[in-house]
Amino acid sequence: MKIGVVGVGMVGSSAAYALALGGVGSELVLVDHNPKLAEAHAEDILHATPFARAVRVRAGDYGALEGSAVVVIAAGVGQKPGETRLELLGRNARVFEQVIPAVLEAAPEAVLLIATNPVDVMTQVATRISGRPESRVIGSGTILDTARFRALLGEWLEVSPQSVHAYVLGEHGDSEVLVWSGAEVGGVALEEFARQSGKSLDEEVRRRIDDGVRRAAYRIIEGKGSTYHGIGAGLARLVRAILTDERSAFTLSTLTPEVEGVREVALSLPRILGASGVLRTLEPQLSPSECQALGHSAQVLKQAAVELGF
């Protein structure tokens, strides 16, 4: 099956590389406003396929996306020094006003997977511009934050993160909500697992893990300029779930009718992902403080979308 990636900067090219090495799909088409950049990445990634899986990789224009089952949208502009978040949103919204119609003209049946930041508001923008059902315009949301949370819990508890079930909800950003109350390890409640393992989960440990999740992007950006490997792998994982109709749960951002009293807002909740996009949204059982924090996160995102005119 064909997969498109539009915008092959650090995030888009990392996603394309992860898709190719993972053998996700049979054909990968890279599109960028700089055709030479797309061609260079396509050639470079193609040269990696003999060491991994047989995937056809090529660059093209929007017309080359015809027949794509999924199109990853990583197109956008970076934040300028002194530029406000709203100004950045406005510039990226204008980019999407050009990109989204061009993608849908070529691949009207494709599921759109949004990776451009700020991803929650950009998912709402893409949904409004496209006019498509909310279930088929999906933001990568907090999949990376959730992975970070599970990785840090697993490291502290000395257990594989694959055995940790814990979620980060709300905004992919500063107001995100780490759901401690519902976390489990191997089907055992987190606090009970920690007790059995002789590990503390006191306020200092929780604060350290929270900071490790919430501030990770800032530290990575300070060290190397941007984050891309983690989200690239996450996007490849989501595409695989769509192509195989996997019906697994991920913390994804879609335009949601109502969250904690806030109407029509895009943010992350646990959602079941399959061939046609989001099949179902789950309603996690949260503590009162987590409900309050999720409501605050929803309000932050709603305000940004309103100010942008979406």
Neighbours of 280 (CB within 10 A): 12
- Summarised one tens digit per residue, pLDDT across range 61-84 is 999 999 999 999 999 987 666 666
Map residue 248 onto helix, strand or coil: strand
pTM reported for the whole predicted model = 0.94
Pick from 164, 151, 120, 130: nearest CA to 294: 120
First to last CA, the chain: 33
Task: With a cut of 90, say whether residue 308 has pLDDT above it.
Answer: no
Q: Which of 70, 44, 72 is nearest to 57 (CA)?
A: 44
Active site residues: 172
> Over the stretch 200-215, which tens digit does the pLDDT of each residue have?
999 999 999 999 999 8
pLDDT per position as a tens digit, 100-126: 999 999 999 999 999 998 899 999 999
262 pLDDT tier (thresholds 50, 70, 90): very high
Task: Report pLDDT for 83.
Answer: 65
Could you report the per-residue pLDDT of 156-176, keeping only the tens digit for each? 999 999 999 999 999 998 899
Distance CA 59, CA 46 (A): 11
At 82 the pLDDT is: 67
Q: Nearest CA to 102 among 34, 40, 38, 31?
A: 31
Task: Give pLDDT tens digits for 7-17.
Answer: 999 999 999 99
| Mean pLDDT calculated for residue range 81-89 | 70
**pLDDT number for residue 78:** 72
Q: Nearest 5°: phi and psi at 44?
A: -65, -45
User: How many CB atoms neighbour CB 228 within 10 A?
Assistant: 20
- Separation between Cα atoms, residue 68 and residue 138, nearest integer Å: 16
Residue 255: pLDDT band by 50, 70, 90 thresholds? very high
Q: How confident is the model at residue 268 (pLDDT cuts 50, 70, 90)?
A: very high
Of residues 270, 299, 267, the one with CA closest to residue 139: 267
Q: Could you tell me if residue 67 is left (phi over 0), alpha (psi between -120 and 50 degrees) or otherwise beta?
A: left
Q: In Å, what is the CA distance from 241 to each residue of 59, 99, 212, 237, 275?
A: 24, 24, 27, 6, 8
Is the pLDDT at 265 greater than 70? The verdict is yes
Give the contacts of 123 (CB within 8 A, at least 6 positions apart).
114, 137, 138, 139, 141, 253, 254, 255, 266
Mean pLDDT of the region 215-229: 87
